Chains A and B, each alone.
Chain A
Amino acid sequence: MAETTQLTRHIESYVDTSSSSPSLQAASLNAIASLVKTDVLPLEALVREMGLYLTTTDNVIRARGILLLAEVITRVESKPLDSATIHSLVGFFKDRLADWRAVRGALVGCLALIRRKSVLGTVTSSDATAISQSFFQYMQVQSLGQYDRKLCFELLDCLLEHYSDALTTLGDGLIYGVCEAIDAEKDPECLMLAFHIVQSLAQLYPDSSGLLASFAKDIFDILEPYFPIHFTHPSNGDTHVQRDDLSRSLMSAFSSTPLFEPFVIPLLLEKLSSSLHSAKIDSLKYLRVCSSKYGAERIAKYAKSIWFSIKDTLSTYLGEPNFSLNMAPVDSIGFPENEFVMEALFLLQQLIVQNSSLLTSIIIDDEDVNIIFNTIASYEIYDAIPVQENKKLHAIGRILYIASKSTVTSCNAVYGGLSRMIDKLGVSVSNTDSSPNGDIFPSQRVKFGFLYLCIELLAGFRELIVGSDEPALQYAIEHATCCTWLHDFSSSLFNAFGSVLVASADRCPLDPDIYIGVKGLQTLAMFHSEVFSLQKSIFENILKKFMSIIIEDFNKKLLWEAALKALCHIGSFVQEFHESEKAMSYGSLVVEKIVEFLFLDDIVVPFSVKVEVLSNIGMTGMKNMVTCLQGMKKAVFSNLSKVHTNSRSSEVVVELLECYACKLLPWIHENGGSEDFAVQFAMDIWSQAGNCTVFSTSFEEKGLLDALIKTMKLSVGSCSVESQNLIIQNAYSILSSRTNFQLKELESLPLSPGKYNISLTDEGIISLFASVVIAVCPKTLIPNMRVLVPLFIVTLLRGIVPVAQALGSILNKLVSTSSSAENSSDITLEEALDAIFNTKLWFSSIDMLQRCNGTSNGKEIVLSDICLGFANDKLLQINAICGLSWIGKGLLLRGHEGIKDITITFLECLIPGTKSALPLVMKSEDQIQDPLVMKSAADAFHVLMSDSEVCLNKKFHATIRPLYKQRFFSSMMPILLQLIAKAYSSSSRSFLYRALAHVLSDTPMVAVLNDAKKLVPVLLDCLSMLTEDIQDKDLLYGLLLVLSGILTEKNGKEAVIENAHIIINCLIKLLDYPHKMLVRETAIQCLVALSELPHGRIYPMRTQVLRAISKSLDDTKRVVRHEAVKCRQTWASMSSRTLHF
């Protein structure tokens, strides 16, 4: 009983709209629905309970009651119902359709019943008929509101979809009803449904003698006004229907039955000539879809008029072709994209595919086409053709292209037309057979227009072949007349295209002519040999032609570039489609020739261009790449051996290595090539390095050594661990055999750098070895580390940076606990650190300056003490600091604690007298370090913080801890700030500022922003300090960027409010910084950003800023002036618009 009362309450809350909120109503509905769903409340019981609500004379309550029942039925659609229940519900709802005040409930109910799945009990077809009868009898769809109309259409749509058989019994009543319902509908969502209803209706009566035939005109009259869809409804509204959706569904309604054909096609043809953009586009689209649906027979009678429209559209909208090989697609001539042209060509293709014979006869017999065929003969170069003719030529060209790519029949037909044209032009086979080389082909016979059309035809035919995957179609093509025609004419075509190049090369070279020649040859060379096999000799002649241009005609820039592009295209095609025979010709005629070209000593083509050509040709395919690389290697080593006799050689090698490292290696990597070559190349460099006589001189050239190091690093870096192991073993054996001093000696302690006589060659070899160490993976085993580390330390002190970087990499990549102890030289991180920092270096007194007190013969110092100047040798100290900075970077990146000691060492260099730093020096008046030393200590922070390209990055497999910069920044900042505050000597302070500037400018902005308030004053001091030296301009700029970052961030703005006036003063000083334009520009931008601070803060500064900025209006650089105008405007308009101050 409790349930019943609760149910009544739910029902009442839903039905009585005046007292309950919508959310409450929804909750009640859900509650009732779940009761029914879980069988607690049978549907019959609900109906009985609701009794009076469904039949009361109160319109509002009755409507709500019926809607409640309908909604409940909608919600229990997954619950099986027996047929009697359904029948009685149908009876109820169908009758209620007549009750216009409660019609929504009736519609929802009917819809819910109609939509039921068959297994759960469905409406019988007789019931469906009854519903539709009642619907057509009582419903005045267009008099209802939008939502109810939508329900009506949904109901109709569902009926047509699921109960089409039942509906046919209604006869013409159905069609009348539908027409009445959809007539003059305007709502987009309803229209979508209405169009679909028409489509379903049309499918109901497919045959032309059916009922629909007599009503086609009436239905079409209702649809016609909607075309073209003009829809300006905002897309962001609650409706999700877009113009394109509507247009598409109207299109399917139009094309739903061939019975519409007599009305639709004339309409579309008429609208095609409209000036309205959407009408034109839609007409073309609709025509395409309709013609495919209506069938060839019905369309045939319109073919001619459609053809004229297409021709018209093309000649109006087709732009100038793009005669540049850079942009054009590989296949056909490129045109600027145009919607009309695209749609028109699609339509044409559709028509040709549908009815080839008719369309091709129309095309071939067309007046314009024939005019083009007949008149173009008189023009020899592109520029001679009048504009109008030219336009026609392009349009016809496109049409022929489409015709030849659509079907075999159409292709044959247009080729037939072409041969007619050839007869007229007098280019006959016999004519050219006598001159197979084509060089003596008379140039006046070259007809631009003819060749232009040939290219379009060839391109089309090529695409036809590409699209033919089925063997049957391929067979058809092989035996088509166009194929035989092409066979007969390919040599004369080759001659013709070739002679264009010769002719145009003689005359002042014109873009289009060169394009036509090159493009023609390229297209000819790129036919698939499975279907159409071009004679081998012709293919080879084409390649030869291009190659002769490459080798001889470098001064004809356009032609030369075009030929190179074409060769690359052909190369990629041959590789991509596995044309083995052509690949062989290509390999021997192009790739090998290009390699030979590299060795040719000619003055016309610069060597860098030759390298460029080589890399371009190499990139056409892996096989070609391998050949090119071999050639390149040969060139590198043959030139390396000549370095000491020929000064050009080292430049050549540098260029080759640059190309290899920066272009070819990444290409091989991307295209999944094997690393064999890279490994072999690195090995070969090492075996050359072993050959001392050759390499001694080559290492003396700085540029060459740098190039070698770079190449070695990149090659090694891209290899697998196994290959790296191989390379490093090989390198080590050469290192230990070649260097003049014994590696063994290094194991005895203490090290005495002065003792070893390291020659320049040795330095080179060590640097090269260091570059291998820099690039290896952490897993790669570096042999005999115990000897290497001391060796590196000794060479580091001589100022060889790669060695320091190698030490940094070693420390960065070593594992801290020895996991694999099988190798004795495999040391742990701790051992390596120990070796680096605690190895005593022995200096004899000769090494020391005279000021040394010299009580003993020498002394032993560790590395960090050298940094502090214990050895009393400035150069040594600077080298040590530089080395230590790279070592520190290695540690910093992996987040190792050791970085602390290193930074303390640097800081000690910057502040005098903290530690009894110089015990050996007589306590003189200056305990301050030499300025150069301090500068290098400050710059060490730059090394620590900046991202390096040369080592310790992802490319060279460094271990990089996330946020290491932020960590370092936050640990360093307090120390630096404190030291700056305490520093009493001005030079010491200025170098501390410098260090701070380095740290600041390389830290991510987010970290800086948090401390902005504290940092701004110091940052300003840094800025004014850095203006003094020209060499600091980049650092100054970096720091200024930090400031501008702070100024533009919301967080930072708060921090600068207090310091606004000092910031402005500082920026004004930077406005005339003469050494870097970007500094001035950024300073002005900062001033603009400052103008957004609270008015009271900055207004007092306004006059000062305006006065300063008016000077910037006369800056030497345009960009600065431009910014100054903007800045002046913002500051001037701050209070009034006057410029008076």
Chain B
Amino acid sequence: MVSGLINANPIIYEKKERRTRTSLTALQDEYAAEPIDQQEIFDHIRDIKDPEHPYSLEELKVITEEAVEVDDQRNYVRITFTPTVEHCSMATIIGLCLRVKLMRSLPSRYKVDIRVAPGSHATEAAGKTFLLFSLPVDQVVLLQLMHLYLLLKLFTEAFSIDLRLTT
């Protein structure tokens, strides 16, 4: 079992400057649409705190603006995040955090896809469920429950089944 912090001494990167949008046309035109874009999604998730450090995911470069892919037309968002160390067992929690935050912030028409950056994680190929076993028991149970719940919710949403009816 792992004891103590997984990555005790992470590298802290500088925060990216918050860009203020100054598109005059959008301000003047009351009816012009501003589609959801990369920066907006990144603004939603940049301040999520790391599970084991008081730093944001942005400061640890777990996520970057470039790692957000968004297609407003096709209602699709994909986040690729990079754990700070290869054997990071927090990857699942980070993934969950991202998912929950985006579920709360995006319109329901969106499908959110979250993945680990290729080559940045030791067990990337083995799938996320494998990761769960490297955690302490209580955490594993909790995580599995959350994960199951989320999967169930996604499932029901995808097939428009009312959860209350099925359970």
CB distance from B109 to the nearest CB of A (A): 7
> Cα distance A1128–B106 when bound, in Å?
11
Which A residues touch B163, using CB under 8 A? 1140
CB distance from A1098 to the nearest CB of B (A): 20
Are B103 and A1139 in contact (CB-based, < 8 A)?
A: yes
Q: Indicate whether A1116 sits within 8 Å of B103 (C-beta atoms), given known contacts A1110-B108, A1121-B40, A1125-B44.
A: no
Select from chain B the residue with minimum beta-carbon distance to A1133.
B104
Are A1125 and B33 in contact (CB-based, < 8 A)?
A: no
Are B104 and A1129 in contact (CB-based, < 8 A)?
A: yes
Are A1118 and B40 in contact (CB-based, < 8 A)?
A: yes
> Cα distance A1114–B36 when bound, in Å?
9
CB distance from B50 to the nearest CB of A (A): 20
Are B104 and A1114 in contact (CB-based, < 8 A)?
A: no
CB distance from B28 to the nearest CB of A (A): 11
Are B44 and A1113 in contact (CB-based, < 8 A)?
A: no
Which B residues touch A1114, using CB under 8 A? 107, 109
Among B33, B34, B103, B106, the most chain A Cβ lie within 10 Å of the Cβ of B34
Interface string of A1063-1087 (1 = CB under 8 A from B): 0000000000011110000000000
Are A1076 and B30 in contact (CB-based, < 8 A)?
A: yes
Are B104 and A1132 in contact (CB-based, < 8 A)?
A: yes
Are B30 and A1139 in contact (CB-based, < 8 A)?
A: no
Which A residues touch B31, using CB under 8 A? 1074, 1116
The residues in B between 64 and 120 inclusive whose CB is less than 8 angstroms from any CB of A are 103-109
Which A residues touch B19, using CB under 8 A? none
Are A1117 and B104 in contact (CB-based, < 8 A)?
A: no
> Cα distance A1140–B156 when bound, in Å?
13
**B18 contacts the other chain (CB 8 A):** no
Range of interface residues on chain B? Answer: 10 to 19
Are B106 and A1113 in contact (CB-based, < 8 A)?
A: yes
Which B residues touch A1074, using CB under 8 A? 31
> Cα distance A834–B106 when bound, in Å?
66
Are A1075 and B104 in contact (CB-based, < 8 A)?
A: no
The residues in A between 861 and 887 inclusive whose CB is less than 8 angstroms from any CB of B are none
> Cα distance A1132–B105 when bound, in Å?
12
Contact among B36, B43, B104, B107 for A1139, CB-based, below 8 A: B104
Which A residues touch B30, using CB under 8 A? 1075-1077
Which B residues touch A1116, using CB under 8 A? 31-34
Which A residues touch B34, using CB under 8 A? 1116-1118
The residues in A between 1083 and 1121 inclusive whose CB is less than 8 angstroms from any CB of B are 1110, 1113-1114, 1116-1118, 1121
Which B residues touch A1117, using CB under 8 A? 26, 33-34
**B21 contacts the other chain (CB 8 A):** yes
Range of interface residues on chain A? Answer: 10 to 19
CB distance from B68 to the nearest CB of A (A): 15
CB distance from B6 to the nearest CB of A (A): 26
Number of residue pairs across A and B with beta carbons under 8 Å?
Answer: 36
> Cα distance A731–B167 when bound, in Å?
88
Select from chain A the residue with minimum beta-carbon distance to B21.
A1118
Interface string of B22-63 (1 = CB under 8 A from A): 000010001111101000100110000000000000000000
Interface string of A773-794 (1 = CB under 8 A from B): 0000000000000000000000
Contact among A1110, A1121, A1129, A1132 for B36, CB-based, below 8 A: A1121
CB distance from B142 to the nearest CB of A (A): 14
> Cα distance A825–B44 when bound, in Å?
71
CB distance from B164 to the nearest CB of A (A): 9
Select from chain A the residue with minimum beta-carbon distance to B35.
A1116
Q: Indicate whether A1113 sits within 8 Å of B21 (C-beta atoms), given known contacts A1121-B36, A1121-B40.
A: no
Select from chain A the residue with minimum beta-carbon distance to B39.
A1118
Which B residues touch A1077, using CB under 8 A? 30
Are A1113 and B107 in contact (CB-based, < 8 A)?
A: yes
Which B residues touch A1132, using CB under 8 A? 104
Which B residues touch A1118, using CB under 8 A? 21, 34, 36, 40
Which A residues touch B108, using CB under 8 A? 1110, 1113
CB distance from A353 to the nearest CB of B (A): 41
CB distance from A703 to the nearest CB of B (A): 21
> Cα distance A837–B156 when bound, in Å?
75
> Cα distance A699–B12 when bound, in Å?
68
Q: Indicate whether A1128 sits within 8 Å of B36 (C-beta atoms), given known contacts A1076-B30, A1077-B30.
A: no
CB distance from B96 to the nearest CB of A (A): 13
> Cα distance A1077–B26 when bound, in Å?
11
CB distance from B38 to the nearest CB of A (A): 12
> Cα distance A1114–B33 when bound, in Å?
11
CB distance from A153 to the nearest CB of B (A): 44
> Cα distance A1075–B31 when bound, in Å?
7
Which B residues touch A1125, using CB under 8 A? 44, 104-105
> Cα distance A609–B116 when bound, in Å?
55
Which A residues touch B44, using CB under 8 A? 1125
Select from chain A the residue with minimum beta-carbon distance to B105.
A1125
> Cα distance A1042–B70 when bound, in Å?
39
Which B residues touch A1113, using CB under 8 A? 105-108
> Cα distance A1074–B44 when bound, in Å?
25
> Cα distance A1113–B109 when bound, in Å?
10
> Cα distance A1121–B36 when bound, in Å?
9
Known: A1116-B34, A1117-B34. 6 other contacts (CB 8 A): A1075-B30, A1110-B107, A1113-B105, A1116-B31, A1125-B44, A1129-B104
List the 9 closest A-B pairs by CB distance, nearest first: A1114-B107, A1116-B33, A1113-B107, A1125-B105, A1118-B34, A1117-B34, A1118-B40, A1076-B30, A1077-B30
Can you show 28 pairs from A to B with CB atoms below 8 A apart?
A: A1076-B30, A1077-B30, A1110-B107, A1110-B108, A1113-B105, A1113-B106, A1113-B107, A1114-B109, A1116-B32, A1116-B33, A1116-B34, A1117-B26, A1117-B33, A1118-B21, A1118-B34, A1118-B36, A1118-B40, A1121-B36, A1121-B40, A1122-B43, A1125-B44, A1125-B104, A1128-B104, A1128-B105, A1132-B104, A1139-B103, A1139-B104, A1140-B163
